[in-house]
Every structure is written in structure tokens, then in C-alpha cells.
Amino acid sequence: MQLLSLLFVSALALSSSAFQHGIGKNRYQPVVKVSSSIGTTSATTAVAPAATQSDVFADQVVAQHNAARAKYGANPVTWNAALYSATQAYANQCQFQHSSGGNYGENLAAGTSTTYGIVDAVSDWMSEASAYDYNQPDFSSATGHFTQVVWKSTTQVACAVANCPAGTIFSQASQYVVCRYTPPGNYIGQFAANVGMPV
């Protein structure tokens, strides 16, 4: 199965409103896949202090995702500790663009509030639910975060938060949230089976 971003393949042009999905000073970006996968790894260097993995953070990530998933008939996800360290390393790069390769789905979000975090990111992603067309179940850049969060075949999640300096994602300092999902969602042709109606 090849993971391929059909949208947002090149680096995000921060001044382009076409790539700014969200409201206010928050940004977030979905990924869509076709049905095959490749995996690559790359070395990363932290450029800013970041949140550390803790049971409290992992529990919060899982709780936020599971509360959202339950509203759409999706089974709970569990924390993927093995995926966490690479997710944190990627977030620490403070580049608002999708990573390349890897056998996971990925949602990105950023906000300029010093308290912006997983609760805000999941809320932003779930705000796309009202735009999802159940009569034409398919990928849309307007709903790709939502569909990844509630994707029924996804069973695990790992998220990371990085404190990014001014001039990286925004002109001011920001909090950057990266979540990765396994197995990945947003596969073309599989939306009807994996995105449930609100319960």
C-alpha cells in the first residue's frame, strides 16, 4: 500500500490561503492516501523545546480521539508508544507540512495560543464533520482531518506537541500538534465503510 499525499505534496506556502484550513490563527492540514504504502525514516533535529511523552499526555490524546470517534460509531484507539518518538521528532522541526513516507495517517494543526494543544487540535479537526457528504463518501480537503480521526479501521494513535519559535509556522511563536494514525485512514474507495454517521 503506497502512502501518497494527493494534496499538499510540496511544502506549504504559508501565505497561501488555499492551504490554510481552519479558523482564526490556527492551521491544520489533512492527508489522503491511495491503496499502497511505502515507509521512510529520516533523522530530525529538535529546534525548540517540546512536550514530553507522559502517561497523562497519552491518556489525553486517546481520550480526545475516543470521545470524537464514539460519536461516529468508531471503536476506541489506543496509544502507539513506538510511533510517538518519531512523531515528536517531526513536530520539533516546526515545518507545517506533511512528512513523507511512513505507514501512518497524519493530521497537523497549529495555534498561536500558548495553551493550544491536543484538545484544540481535535476540536478543530472535528469541526469539519458538518461539511462531510455522506451521500458522496470520498476525500475532501475540507473534511480530511475529521475523516482520519473517526476512520473505523484505525486502531492506534500517537501525537506530539512542539513549541515553535516565531517565523517558523506563524510570524509569532506557536504550538504545533502532529498526530499519526495506524492503520492510516483516508483511503480512496473506503470512505463509506470507514466514516460512520453520527450516532
Q: Kindly tell me if the per-residue pLDDT of 8 is higher than 70.
A: no
Angle between helices 55-70 and 118-126 (to 10 degrees): 20
Q: Kindly tell me if the per-residue pLDDT of 4 is higher than 90.
A: no
The residue among 179, 56, 168 whose CA lies nearest residue 109 is 179
Q: How far apart are CA 150 and CA 185, in angstroms?
A: 9
Mean pLDDT of 176-193: 98
The per-residue pLDDT for range 124-161, each reduced to its tens digit, is 999 999 999 999 999 999 999 999 999 999 999 999 99
Q: Kindly tell me if the per-residue pLDDT of 16 is higher than 60.
A: no
**Residue ranges with strand state E in 100-195:** 105-111, 156-164, 174-182
Q: How far is CA 175 from CA 4, 76, 130, 162, in A?
A: 26, 26, 26, 6
* Per-residue model confidence (pLDDT) at position 101: 81
- The set of cell numbers assigned to 139 is 476525500
The per-residue pLDDT for range 52-100, each reduced to its tens digit, is 448 999 999 999 999 999 999 999 999 999 999 999 999 999 999 999 9
Phi, psi (degrees; rounded to nearest 5) at 79:
-75, 135
CATH number of the domain at 19-194, out of 3.40.33.10, 3.30.428.10, 1.10.3720.10, 3.40.50.300? 3.40.33.10
Query: Mapping DSSP to helix (H, G, I), strand (E, B) and coil, where does residue 2 land?
Result: strand
The residue among 185, 43, 66, 51 whose CA lies nearest residue 122 is 66
